[in-house]
Every structure is written in structure tokens, then in C-alpha cells.
Amino acid sequence: MGDNANFFIMMRKKILKQKKAILLGIFVFLLQGFLVCDQAFSGTLSNEQRKELALHYFRGIISFNSKYYDEALSEFQKASAIDPYYKETQSYIQESMKVLEEERKSLFKGVGESSVGRGDSETDYYFVGKTYYEKGDFKHALEAFKIALAKNPSDKYARYYVQLCQKALPKMKPLEKSSAAQEDGVKNISSLAKEVAYVKNDVKSQEEWAALQVRKAERRADRDELIRTKERRLKEEEEILEEEKQDYLAQEKITERATKIKNESEKWKNMKEKLASEEPGIPADLTEFPLYLNKADAYYAAMKESLRSSRWNSAGLNAIAGGLYYCDAVLIYFYNVKSSYPQHENINRLLLEYVKRADTQENVFHMRAILNVKKITEETDKPITRSQALFLSDELEKVREWSRSLLP
């Protein structure tokens, strides 16, 4: 993880260096372009002035696009001082002033609410002069901007509009910076200060309206959240209901399965009782022994051939028949008895009853496994599968080995 972090940091530094190099190249290229384009400008400017003009203009554009409107205004004003008609200098100055004035209004918000009846110290004469300027009354606008500059000499916005007013009134003599002039300006604009206060009160009303809309939006959001909460609760209740439904269905399936198992158990119990009450076998003659043994060997060979050719159903059926015939051959040879068709299940009972050997129980176990598969295939009416056929063949091998060990 540490190596990956160091790698990404190095790559990031490398990318930043490449970006700086690219921006520097673009800056030089654009500066050269400005210089070339300005060759057609008035021949009254020297080469140094043209370079300075292009540099201020380009810096102003970079600052404006980066939203540094204060620096952009300063650069464009410097360019305008060299050539006021250079490219779009005036347009950029107006756009920068518009943004900066909005910021200024946000800073002086609330001044108009307390300016009336409190003296002139709290009146923002910049906005007073701006109001006169927009009405075309450049004389009174200039007086207001002069008062604003007297109160705050670093107010560059007021200084900018002073220049505009002086250009609009070229024949007007510059006003002297005296207290008398300030008093005359205050008298001339006292009525307009009230008008500005009225406008700002109107702005306050608009802000109250906006606050009302915000409160309505908040109430709407609260209502929507309440609706979503109710929907979530309904969804949770539906999920709980669905879970209860599934539990009920599962319980019903369990009950049905238990009933089925009980019925099967009763069925097997009745079958065992029936088999116990019936005669387990029928008498047989010794002459039948070779016939049964040959059939058992034939079924065994057929099972082997079916396994080699992947005929699983045939292999399983031959294994079942072979097991029955091997056991009947043992019973016929030693005890002159055999299992009766179709009650072949009695063959295990006959073996336990007649063949009194220590390994008889184990052979009966293998024969019972063969007969269980036989019963399952008959009840389901499905062909024997590969796994069942291989299982039956293994069980028949054990039954055949046991039978062959007893017979001559």
C-alpha cells in the first residue's frame, strides 16, 4: 500500500509539472499572438507600450476566467489607461464591476435599514452615486462618489465611477476637496438617501419572501420524509406478512411430509405382517439346482456386458435377477426350497431360517439392499440410473462370492 501511495504521489507531481509547463507555453504563445495582432494598432504606441498593453489585457483575462474579479478589474483598468478601445477591455471592466458590486451589496446589506434618522455616517454614498449614475445625473453622481472617496480613499469602485463621470462631463471643473463641498453634496443627496433606504427595505421584503419559500420547501421536505417513513413501515409490515406466510407454507409442507411418512410406515408394517403370515417359500427339487445356477451366471454375464456398454437400466435389472437366482440356487441345493414368485422379498427370511451360518446375516444385508432398489424403481416407475446400477453390481458381486463359496 505504501509503495502504491508513493507511486501515485510521484505521478501527481509529474502531471502538475507537465501542466505548469503547458500553461507557460500557452501563455507565451498567446502573448506573442497579442503582440502580432497589435501591430496593426495605432502607430502612436511604442513597442514597449504595446507589450505592456497586451500583458495587462492577457493577465486580466486569466484573472477573470479564474474568478479573481478584483485583480481582473485592476489589469483591465491599466490596459484601458494605455488604450481604452483595445479589444474588449471596456466590456470586461463592466462585467468585473457588475460582479464586484454584487459582492459589495452583500457586504453592505442592512445598512439601509438603519441609515434613516441616524445621520450621514451610516449612508453608503457609493450606492447613492450609483443610483444617480444609472439615472444619467452624472453631476450628482460625481458628488456622491467624491464623498465616498473622502470617507474611504481606498474605495477603488468609487474611483472607477469618478473617472466615468468625469469622462461624461468633460467640461466640468474638478471639485475641490473641501468640507464645504461635502456639506453641499450631503444636502443635494439627502432625499436620495431615503430612496436608497426604501429600495433596501424592498430588498428586505424580498428576502423575507425568499425565507418564506425556504420554510415552505422545508415543510414540504418534512412531509415527503414522513411519507417515505410510512412507506418504509408498510414495506416492513408486508415483509413480515410474507415471512409469516412462508412459515405457514413450510409448516404445512412439514405436516404433509410427516403424514406421508406415517402412511408409508403403516404400509411397510402391514406388508411385513402379511409376509410373516404367509408361507415364506415353496418346495423345490434338486434337479432344478443346475437350471437356477446357470440362469444366475447368465444374468451376471448380462450385467457385465450392460455395464461395459453403459446400459444402466439393463445392468441393474440383470443384477437384481442374478441375486435372486444365486440365493435360490443355495436354498435348492441344501434345503430343497425356493422363494415364490412374485413374493421374492421372502428370500431373506428363507436364508435366515435355513442357512445357519455366521456369514448369513451379512449376505442377507446385501440381498436386502438389492431388493430395496428393486422396490424403489417399481414404485417410481423410473429407469435405473448409473449410480444405482453401479451399486447393484457391487452388491451382486458380494452375493455371488458368498453363494459360490457354498455351492460345489
- The grid coordinates listed for 112 are 439601509
Please, are residues 112 and 200 in contact by the beta-carbon 8 Å criterion? yes
Q: Are residues 100 and 120 in the same domain?
A: no
For residue 233, is it within any domain?
no
For residue 183, is it within any domain?
yes
For residue 65, what pLDDT is reported?
84
How much is the pTM? 0.35
Of 104, 134, 166, the domain-final residue: 104
Q: Are residues 327 and 341 in the same domain?
A: yes
For residue 288, is it within any domain?
yes
For 297-326, write each residue's pLDDT tens digit.
999 999 999 999 999 999 999 999 999 999
For residue 41, what pLDDT is reported?
47
Assign residue 293 the CATH number of its domain: 1.20.120
Q: For residues 164 and 162, what is the distance between their CA atoms, to the nearest angstrom?
A: 5
Please, are residues 123 and 147 in contact by the beta-carbon 8 Å criterion? no
For 128-158, write each residue's pLDDT tens digit.
787 777 777 888 888 888 888 888 887 777 8
For residue 400, what pLDDT is reported?
93
Q: Are residues 125 and 100 in the same domain?
A: no
For residue 402, is it within any domain?
yes
Q: Are residues 113 and 87 in the same domain?
A: no
For residue 191, what pLDDT is reported?
57
- Among residues 108, 71, 90, 55, the alpha carbon closest in space to that of 163 is found at 90
Q: Are residues 176 and 91 in the same domain?
A: no
For residue 224, is it within any domain?
no
Distant-in-sequence, close-in-space partners of 77: CB < 8 Å, separation ≥ 6:
93, 160
Domains of the chain: total:
3
Q: Are residues 301 and 399 in the same domain?
A: yes
- Among residues 360, 328, 321, the alpha carbon closest in space to that of 347 is found at 328
For residue 114, what pLDDT is reported?
41
Q: Are residues 78 and 128 in the same domain?
A: no
Mean pLDDT (10-residue bins), the chain, 408 residues: 58 64 62 51 70 83 80 81 82 82 62 41 68 79 84 80 81 50 54 58 71 86 90 90 88 87 79 57 84 93 94 94 91 86 75 86 90 88 92 93 89
Of 162, 185, 204, the domain-final residue: 204
Q: For residues 160 and 49, what is the distance between their CA atoms, to the nearest angstrom?
A: 22
For residue 120, is it within any domain?
yes
Q: For residues 77 and 62, what is the distance between their CA atoms, to the nearest angstrom?
A: 15
CB neighbours (10 Å) of residue 45? 16
Tell me which residue range forms the domain holding 62. 2-104
Q: Are residues 100 and 117 in the same domain?
A: no
Please, are residues 176 and 185 in contact by the beta-carbon 8 Å criterion? no
For residue 236, is it within any domain?
no
For residue 121, what pLDDT is reported?
43
Of 79, 104, 129, the domain-final residue: 104
